[in-house]
Structure 1
């Protein structure tokens, strides 16, 4: 049986999210978080009888990779999440893809408002586990790999 070697990822990177049409967005690698988290400028729920759609604008104008496009989700979940400061909040979760080292990985993202925080997107263990080793002395490993 062939064992796939884990790639080395640094503490920060610049990656793309094909399913959200976002390219070259700064991210922080967060091994302390289970799920990945993405900053949204706006999150709106539209109800149609017994169905609902989630409409989202990812990032904001100050963040590299911002498009201003509205992305619509027919499938989403809500869940209570405790943030790093200990405050519980209800968040929406959606599936999406992250492109790292030339490969796309599907994972779940919690959607939140992260204005004023240094990193608009956190990549958590659910995405990283069994795929990557983190070297905190490095940055932009995937970005450098894809742009050599």
Structure 2
């Protein structure tokens, strides 16, 4: 297993095709799929194929919004940790983490009440990464000027 890269339980993840340099993500082997917080989403057709546009607010003091769009990869039911199932849009996009870039599936979700705007599930980390739950942010910190998505709420995990 020495060829796998160790991640902390939280990391900064880049989603370059979506214009996101850094997204604060909880690495969660208990979650099958990855989820990205969006404030709103809309559908449209591009060259005969279904696409999804979405907007999210980075959580910075400026309160500006980031908009992105991607082809719809799939739509399927996702059951959250509370047992509630909802139908979600999935997209495939490159993710960059710890010097590795790979394409992952992400569903778009309202994670407004969550500490992290992104959940990095086990299908995104399988075969390349392992998790050390006692460590955090092993692969970089937020740099000034990055297009970052950060949810902050009072609590010990800032």
Note whether the superposition's TM-score is higher than 0.5. yes
Q: Give the Cα–Cα distance (whole angstroms) in 1 for the partners of residues 131 and 27 of structure 2.
A: 8
Is the contact between residue 22 and residue 67 of structure 1 (CA under 8 Å) also seen in structure 2?
no
Q: Give the Cα–Cα distance (whole angstroms) in 1 for the partners of residues 43 and 95 of structure 2.
A: 24
Is the contact between residue 72 and residue 90 of structure 2 (CA under 8 Å) also seen in structure 1?
no
When structure 1 is superposed on structure 2, of 70-79 and 108-117 the one drifting more is 70-79
Instruction: Write 1 or 2 for the structure with the bigger share of helix.
Output: 1
SS in structure 1 opposite 2:52? strand
The RMSD of aligned alpha carbons is 2.4
Deviations 1:36-85 (A, max 9, x none): 1100111111358x75331112x314169x97332222333210111111
Is the contact between residue 7 and residue 133 of structure 1 (CA under 8 Å) also seen in structure 2?
yes
Aligned to 1:99: 96
Aligned to 2:17: 19
Structure 1: 5+ residue runs without aligned partners? Answer: none
Query: Cα–Cα, structure 1 residues 13 and 51, in superposed 2: closer, same or farther, change >3 Å?
Result: closer
Query: Cα–Cα, structure 1 residues 51 and 97, in superposed 2: closer, same or farther, change >3 Å?
Result: closer
Is the contact between residue 75 and residue 90 of structure 2 (CA under 8 Å) also seen in structure 1?
yes
Aligned length: 140
Structure 2: 5+ residue runs without aligned partners? Answer: 142-158
Question: Shift in Å at residue 139 of structure 1?
Answer: 0.5
TM-score by length of 2: 0.79
Q: Give the Cα–Cα distance (whole angstroms) in 2 for the partners of residues 143 and 73 of structure 1.
A: 27
TM-score by length of 1: 0.83
Aligned to 2:78: 81
Matches within 5 A, 1:117-136: 117-136=114-133
Query: Cα–Cα, structure 1 residues 124 and 47, in superposed 2: closer, same or farther, change >3 Å?
Result: same
Aligned to 2:8: 10
Q: Give the Cα–Cα distance (whole angstroms) in 1 for the partners of residues 90 and 101 of structure 2.
A: 19
User: Is 1:38 aligned with 2:48?
Assistant: no
